[in-house]
Chain A
Amino acid sequence: MENMKKEKKGLKKFTDFALSNFVIVAFVILFISSYFLSPAFFTKNNLLSVLIQNSIYAICAMGMLIIIITGGIDLSTGAYVCIVVCLTAGLIQDGHGVASIFIVLVMALGIGAVSGSMVAFLNIAPFIATLAMTTILKGAAYMYQTGQNRRIDGTFLPKWVKSSTLGVPNPVLVMIVVYLVVLFVLNRTRFGRGIYAIGGNKETAYLAGIKVKSYLVLSYALGGMCFAISGILLCGRLGMGTATVGEGYEMDAIASVVIGGASMNGGTGSVTKTIVGAMFMGVLYNIMNLMGIASYPQMIVKGVVIVLAVLLYKTK
């Protein structure tokens, strides 16, 4: 009797854990099933390529997370990636070398600050402000890119992106660094506390002395910087500048954040679960590819997974 009670309590604890860390449990299950579903899955080459490929998405997702925690959203992720790919290649071609990276990052910070200011000071809905920013950035990217050849093969960036440090592919290394920084910022700084408070209840946060407006601006700026880091890595992988990239990145980033358990209303969200969310989507795509499932059915599966994830978090 006593034992059964204990067991029941243990079971309840487990289901609670499983529900609030649904994405981690789901990832483990997906990973193990993939092992049995395709012999090509659990090979070093395949796993590394999944990791490298998705580090770019995961970094975008972490940027998106910061913004979603405030209760906002940034639809211009893909446009950032697009213009950053073009500009990075262009600046490297113009001979700015490593400085190109810093120029692009500062610029992204500035673009984010503009989006954030529209939200914080002009009270424009985040959806609209960043939608407008999307077309502005896209337009600028095309204007900069049209008629230009922006190949940068052989320069430092493609070389670095394609190599490894201490056995870790550099894009994955960047993802880990971004992860640690975001983890620290969200949990150990006044700003991190502040944005959770803003997303939870803006009015309460303001009355508690939290600098709501400047924190909003900073959130969009930091988000923009994450998107730019992804763009730089993508530029290195492609070895050229092109304005045809970035399509749909915002949706993948939002999906990762939501699968990671954050609420679109703001105030919640974990960076660890967001990364796992991004990797979950990556492994799901990978195994479907390995199994020879065509890309359209894949899209349907992705949509179903997002809905299921949200429903499961709701039952908690």
Chain B
Amino acid sequence: MSNEYAVEMRDITKKFGGLIAVDSVSFKVKPGEIHALCGENGAGKSTLMNVLTGKFLASSYSGEILLNGNKVKINSPKDAKKEKITIVHQELELIPDLSIAENIFLGNQPTTATGVNWKKMNAEAQDILEKFSLNLNVKTKIKYLTVGQQQLVEIAKAIYLGGNVLILDEPSAPLTGREIDFLLATLEKLKKTGISIIYITHRLEEVFKLSDRVSVMRDGKMIDTFSTKEINVEELVAAMIGRKMENMYPDMDTEVGDVTLEISNYSVPHPLYDTNIVEDASMKFRAGEVVGISGLLGAGRTELMSAVIGAYKMKGNGTVKLNGKEVKFNSPAAAIKAGIGYVTEDRKMTGLILNQSIRFNVSMASLSRIIEHGVLSPSKEKVIVNELKDGLHIKTENIENPVSSLSGGNQQKVVLAKWLATKPGILILDEPTRGVDVGARFEIYMIIKELAAQGNTIIIISSDLPEIIGISNRVYVMYEGKVHGELLKDELGEDSIMRYATGIA
């Protein structure tokens, strides 16, 4: 048996229903290497790692996993733990009200005859932190740490649990510059102890700074694995995005008019820390124009636009002008009144009321249109909702059906209908086609283009590069809270956007 690889995944295929999330992927990690795993959102990276960490039963996917040359079956997170594979998720799994020491030893506390051996636990925890040169008191509650420190505690915990293979899912996303440097240095040190590290990231700089090798996934397939030294940024970006552009974006010439919405020097404070999540952003939007806002997750796109309409938990600073007049929206209600609609990114959490009917959901934001003398008019409501249902081809027999009975694409159309019912002059769409099938996607693009052709202002926040290139007249790219670039129609390309979005350009 060869021990060349600490982890070897062979021909892994994992389907969710009819959807192939991971398509006969092979992935090998050497002992003592830092192996970066790159790819766009939805490329299959997380699913692949979930396979490795026992999130799925071994019978639910095909292919095999070898650890140090030995075939293993990983059926549960417990199995993964036994095999010394640990993962640090993007969403931290620490308990905020327990101390650092308690979190590190959770479920594993040293005991005496009468209970937890606090002395021993705290001393050992302090030892672990010192190994990471973390200068923290182990009795501090987790909630008093910065996200960066929490991340490092989580990694320390993962190491303590005895990882041979450590998987980090976008560990640097919540970290500040200094913390990232510290994290990278820590990982370098760890690597020397022989641990294999799989590092999932969107930030290409980190790939080049840190990794020994880099594997790229796209559309569920493993594209290639490179030695990081032998590849440059352009080649890596090309590998990540090199898919054919499907021609599903309706071509429609629209007449671009005056500036309707103007945001200048706009900053939004971070809800928890003393930093800005959006820094000094300035953007202009015109009538008849579809403007894209691109950037990676956490670049501050959603925070910017939701703060502008008064929907974010923090108040932004800066000026917002609507048709040349300075405005300030303290709540979404005020923005709706001024003719701004906001299709939020998560339809289940913030777009729909799932236990209610299609009718209820569609008319929710435009009740003033169906109220006569202070009384709701059900007949008027029916007319408006049915019109939108037909116009958007929402597939249902009856608008009284619960919205939860619809498919994802049709649910998204209900959200869209809700905002169209308010007759907005400016429509902001945040990830409007996430989880939407191809057919419904095309319909949504058609609606967007038509709205623009009617002289409305459309703003699209999207992580889907082909989409944002296909649909936008112009694109702003954000990176770490700042507007990093503005690309005109003829400058739009996946590589040009990616360069701005990853902070290279």
Contact = CB atoms under 8 A, between A and B. Distances in A.
A187 B374 CA distance: 12
Contact of A210 (B350, B356, B364): B364
A205 interface: yes
A186 to B, nearest CB: 11
Contact of A193 (B349, B350, B354, B364): B364
22 contacts: A188-B375, A190-B367, A193-B360, A193-B364, A193-B367, A196-B356, A200-B353, A200-B356, A201-B352, A204-B351, A204-B353, A206-B311, A206-B331, A207-B311, A207-B350, A207-B351, A208-B332, A208-B336, A208-B365, A209-B333, A209-B337, A267-B353
A289 B121 CA distance: 62
Given A190-B371, A200-B353, A200-B354, A211 B376 contact: no
A268 interface: yes
| Overall SS of chain A's interface | helix
Nearest to A207: B332
Interface of B: 311, 331-333, 335-337, 342, 344, 349-356, 360, 363-365, 367-368, 371, 374-376, 418
Nearest first, the 7 A-B pairs at minimum CB distance are: A200-B353, A209-B333, A208-B365, A209-B336, A208-B364, A201-B353, A188-B376
Given A188-B376, A193-B360, A204 B333 contact: no
Contacts, number: 71
B333 A210 contact: yes
A268 B355 contact: yes
B505 to A, nearest CB: 34
Nearest to A184: B375
A203 interface: yes
Interface string A63-92: 000000000000000000000000000000
Interface residues on A, range: 20 to 34
A176 to B, nearest CB: 20
A266 B331 CA distance: 23
Contacts of B332: 206-209
Contact of B364 (A189, A205, A263): A205
Given A188-B375, A201-B350, 18 more contacts: A188-B376, A190-B376, A193-B360, A193-B364, A196-B356, A196-B360, A203-B349, A204-B350, A204-B352, A205-B353, A206-B331, A207-B332, A207-B351, A208-B418, A209-B336, A210-B364, A267-B355, A267-B356
B309 to A, nearest CB: 9
A287 interface: no
A188 B365 CA distance: 15
B353 A197 contact: yes
B102 to A, nearest CB: 26
A201 B360 contact: no
A268 B353 CA distance: 11
A189 B360 CA distance: 13
Contacts of A203: 349-350
Contacts of A187: 376
Nearest to B333: A209
Contacts of A210: 333, 364
B369 to A, nearest CB: 11
Nearest to B415: A204
Contacts of B374: 189
Interface in A170-229: 187-190, 192-193, 196-197, 200-201, 203-211
A207 B353 CA distance: 12
B436 to A, nearest CB: 18
